[in-house]
Amino acid sequence: MVNNPDYPLTYLNIANRIFEGTKYRASDSDIKDLAKNISLLKNRGLSKLNDRFISSGRKIWDNFSEHNFASILASHINHEILISYEPEGLQRPPDFKIVIGKLTYWVQMKRLSELEARNRQDSIVREI
């Protein structure tokens, strides 16, 4: 396992544990990057996403996409911009709510296969 003073040992332990639960052989760099992302999201108020990711079990790869998306977004936008994960108050909340000034962006992550199936269905319905 990687030992890096930039990230608390707990984040490195968590990242290592996540990868151990998969068939993927993570490099030290992979573990360090995941630890960095866990720390980044915690600092941006997205502990709920970290918790869900850490406890995702067999659906880890679906949650990796959400976690990576949020990490990239959080690292590229101003710290004052609010990012919410599965915001409260909606029956079926989207994955992310991003508020920039007076604009609100709602982002829903989907598996590509789900999107392809939905597109085919939509195409059939249009033809009918």
Is residue 114 pLDDT above 90, yes or no?
Answer: no
38 exposed, middle or buried (CB, 10 Å; 0-12, 13-18, 19+)?
buried
17-31, 79-93, 104-118, range with the lowest pLDDT: 104-118
The answer to whether 60 and 18 are in contact (CB under 8 A) is yes
pTM: 0.77
Average pLDDT over residues 94-113: 88
Q: How far apart are CA 74 and CA 104, in angstroms?
A: 16
